Amino acid sequence: MRTTSVKIIITVLFITSFIQVNGQQFSHCNVYQFLKNDSINKKIAQRIEYNPEGQITKESYNSFWIDASNRRVDGTHNYHYKDTLLQMKTFDSAEDMTDNTKTIYSHNKNHQLTKEEKYSFERILKKGVRGCVVSEDDYEKKRKWVKTHSIKYTYDKNGNKILYEETIDKDRHTWDYDTKNRITKFSRYKEKKNPLSTHIYTYSDHGHQVVFQWASDSIPTRIDTLYKDDKNRIVKEINTGGKSGKIIRTIETSYNPYGKISRRTVYNIDREAEVTHIYEYLP
**Reported confidence tier of residue 135, pLDDT bands at 50, 70, 90:** confident
- Look at residue 27 in the predicted model and tell me its pLDDT: 67
**Gap between the Cα atoms of 7 and 51, Å rounded:** 37
The reported pTM is 0.81
Helix (H, G, I), strand (E, B) or coil at 136: helix
**Gap between the Cα atoms of 164 and 55, Å rounded:** 25
pLDDT tens readout for residues 217-228:
888 899 999 999
Cα–Cα distance list, 230 to 110, 178, 207, 233, 234 (Å): 31, 22, 10, 7, 10
Q: Does residue 193 or residue 107 have the better pLDDT?
A: 107
How many Å from the N-terminal Cα to the C-terminal Cα in the chain? 32
User: How many CB atoms are closer than 10 A to CB 205?
Assistant: 5
Residue 69 makes CB contacts below 8 A (sequence gap 6+) with 3, 5, 6
- Look at residue 20 in the predicted model and tell me its pLDDT: 58
Residue 40 makes CB contacts below 8 A (sequence gap 6+) with none
Residue 223 makes CB contacts below 8 A (sequence gap 6+) with 209, 210, 211, 212, 239, 240, 242
- Look at residue 25 in the predicted model and tell me its pLDDT: 64
**Gap between the Cα atoms of 283 and 277, Å rounded:** 20
Q: Do residues 9 and 35 touch, judged by C-beta distance below 8 A?
A: yes
- Look at residue 226 in the predicted model and tell me its pLDDT: 97
Half-sphere exposure of 26 (CA within 13 A, CB side): 22
Q: What is the DSSP letter of 126?
A: P
**Gap between the Cα atoms of 44 and 240, Å rounded:** 32
**Which alpha helices (H) appear in the chain, and where do they start and end?**
none
Q: Do residues 143 and 121 touch, judged by C-beta distance below 8 A?
A: yes
**Gap between the Cα atoms of 266 and 203, Å rounded:** 23
Nearest to 228 by CA among 210, 264, 252, 249: 252
User: Chain-wide mean pLDDT for the chain?
Assistant: 86
pLDDT tens readout for residues 83-132:
899 999 999 999 988 889 999 999 999 999 999 999 999 988 888 787 77
**Reported confidence tier of residue 19, pLDDT bands at 50, 70, 90:** low
pLDDT tens readout for residues 38-80:
888 777 788 888 787 778 888 888 888 888 888 889 999 999 9
User: How many CB atoms are closer than 10 A to CB 237?
Assistant: 17
